[in-house]
Amino acid sequence: MRAVKIAVLQLALIMLMVLPVRALDVEISNFKLANGMEVVVIPNNRAPVVTHMVWYRVGSADEVSGKSGLAHFLEHLMFKGTSKRAPGEFDRLIDINGGEGNAFTTSDYTAYFQRIASDRLELMMELEADRMQNLVLTDENVLPELDVVREERRERTDNDPSALLGEQIDAAMYTAHPYGKPVIGWMSEVAKLTRADAMAFYRAHYTPANAVLVVAGDVTPEQVKVLAEKYYGVLKNSFTPQPRVRTPEPDPIAARRVTLIDARAASPAVQRSYLAPSYSASTGHEALALDLLADILGSGTQSRLYKSLVIDQKIAAYAAAWYSGDQMDSGTFGVYGAPNPGVDVAKVEAAMDAVLADLLKNGVTQQELDRVRNQAIAERVYTLDNQAALARMAGVALTTGLSARSIFDRDVEIGKVTLDDIRAAAARIIVLKRSVTGVLLPEPQTLN
């Protein structure tokens, strides 16, 4: 075992080096325009390129009941023209200026972005400011786009049994809170969305005071401020955004279980999600503790689940854990296992349960905590290489109730998480009644 000892010695040295270092040392500027629109600038002059993003504090969890998919449908329709720009002109202007653009929607936010040469930033602002207030929709372009969205749902969800199972797990997790709805919407509801629905949603949610501008890349805060005042600062608010209060999820009282039997699934899998707080909806270090706990349990080949199920027992091909804490109102903590060919999925679930029981009984070790903490801090340095990722971090923070600074300062806070924080978070969250267990089975006969 000589080799192992050498490695351990090297590890100890590295830990000493890594721990005090601040990984993500990013200068950001964060200010508000007079109309309330928030602005974040992240200078990064690696290349003469900018990432320009406009985020709206609205997502699928802000839709009214029966209109699931509306926030995402509107995202598609935002490219269909304004009173100043014909349909298609937006995309063409970005193309001929050598840019790339797209958009995305989640439960909590809708974001639009372009990556383009930094000397074209002004044009991007002109285009985004225009469509924040002047969208024009006709049935001629709305109806084909509704078909596009339905194809998107078929491609990404209905054709894929594991995506369908994920949707069922979310639906079972939330009995009252709208996080139980899929962002893309239920097909039966998407099919009935109309131009009037989209315009009403647009008028109710798209206004400067409900938006966040993030610019990262080859710019200075001063340049961005001048341009932002010129294009976004002059816009008048059509309404005053109210606090986003969604139907709260009652404390869970019963473990739930969903099983999807689908002939299209080639191999079985099991996952369990526990209702957990998110960064935004937690206090102290609970969210960070859950992040580190997920790493200890199920990130990489040294994690507890991988070691137990894959390496030692040889019953699973993959085993992992995650913490999803970026939502505004709540998050999930979860574990996952994919059996080796021929192994019963129930055996994998039982082995996961045993790992969790041991964790709850005996806690984690200081060595494990140090390992995942150092690695988490070191890994964050890679984010410095990617201006689009930096911009995205800021946008997520500001549309889910966090400050932009807090998300970059997270590596400082990681150093403060204690074994007690982890023990307390595990005891509170890894409780069966908070959970939904989802099982994917290829064939009915493996059920019992």
Partner 1 sequence: MRLLFLRIIVAGFTLAISFTSAYAIEIKEVTSPGGIKAWLVENKAIPLIAMNFSFEGGSTSDPAGKEGTAHFLTGMMDEGAGDLDGAAFQALRDELAVRINFDSGMDQFEGSLQTLSKNRAQAFDLLKKVLTAPHFEKTAMERVRQQFLVSAINDEQEPESLASRAWMELAFGSQLYARKSSGTPQSLAAITPDDLRAMHRLLFSRKGLKVAVVGDIDAASLALMLDDVFGGLPDTEPPKPVSGVTVAKGPVVKVIDRDIPQSIIVFGNEGILRSDPDFIPAFIMSEILGGSGFASRLTAEIREKRGLTYGIGFGLSPMDHAGLNVGSLGTRNEKAGEALAIVKDTLKKMADEGPTQAELDDIKTYLTGSYALRFDTNNKIAGQLLGIQEENLGIDYINKRNSMVEAITLDQVKAQARRLIDSERLIVTVVGKPEGLKSTGTGG
Residues carrying an active site annotation: 75
Q: Which position among 16, 148, 254, 354 is part of the footprint of partner 1 (CB under 8 A)?
A: 148
Minimum CB distance to partner 1 smaller for 92 or for 416: 92
Q: Which of residues 266-285 bind partner 1 (CB under 8 A)?
A: 266-267
With 0-12 CB in 10 A as exposed, 13-18 as middle and 19+ as buried, what is 385?
Answer: exposed
Q: Which of residues 67-86 bind partner 1 (CB under 8 A)?
A: 75-76, 79
Q: Which of residues 216-255 bind partner 1 (CB under 8 A)?
A: 217
Cα–Cα dist 19/143, whole Å? 55
- 191 near partner 1 (CB under 8 A): no
Among the residue ranges 204-212, 246-254, 265-273, 324-332, the one whose residues contact partner 1 (CB under 8 A): 265-273
- 378 near partner 1 (CB under 8 A): yes
Counting residues that bind partner 1 (by CB under 8 A) gives 78
Phi then psi dihedrals of residue 134, to 5 deg: -120, 25
Spatial neighbors of 390 by CB under 8 A, at least 6 apart, are: 26, 42, 44, 216, 383, 384
Q: Which H helix or E strand runs over 343?
A: none
Minimum CB distance to partner 1 smaller for 19 or for 254: 19
Spatial neighbors of 155 by CB under 8 A, at least 6 apart, are: none
Strand extents, DSSP E, 64-121: 100-105, 110-117
Minimum CB distance to partner 1 smaller for 235 or for 440: 440
Q: Which of residues 128-147 bind partner 1 (CB under 8 A)?
A: 143-147
- The least distance separating partner 1 from the CB of residue 405, rounded to whole angstroms, comes to 20
Q: Which position among 66, 248, 284, 300 is part of the footprint of partner 1 (CB under 8 A)?
A: 300
Q: Which of residues 335-374 bind partner 1 (CB under 8 A)?
A: 338, 340-341, 371, 374
Adjacency order of strands within the sheet including 211-217: 29-32, 38-43, 211-217, 49-56, 110-117, 100-105
Q: Which position among 60, 271, 387, 435 is part of the footprint of partner 1 (CB under 8 A)?
A: 387
At 161, the amino acid letter reads: P
- 314 near partner 1 (CB under 8 A): yes
Instruction: Write down the H helix ranges in 85-160.
Output: 89-96, 121-133, 139-153
- The least distance separating partner 1 from the CB of residue 134, rounded to whole angstroms, comes to 19
Q: How far, in whole angstroms, is CA 178 from its chain's centroid? A: 16
Q: Which of residues 407-446 bind partner 1 (CB under 8 A)?
A: none
- The least distance separating partner 1 from the CB of residue 26, rounded to whole angstroms, comes to 11
Asked if 290 contacts 424 with a C-beta cutoff of 8 angstroms, the reply is no
Minimum CB distance to partner 1 smaller for 186 or for 318: 318
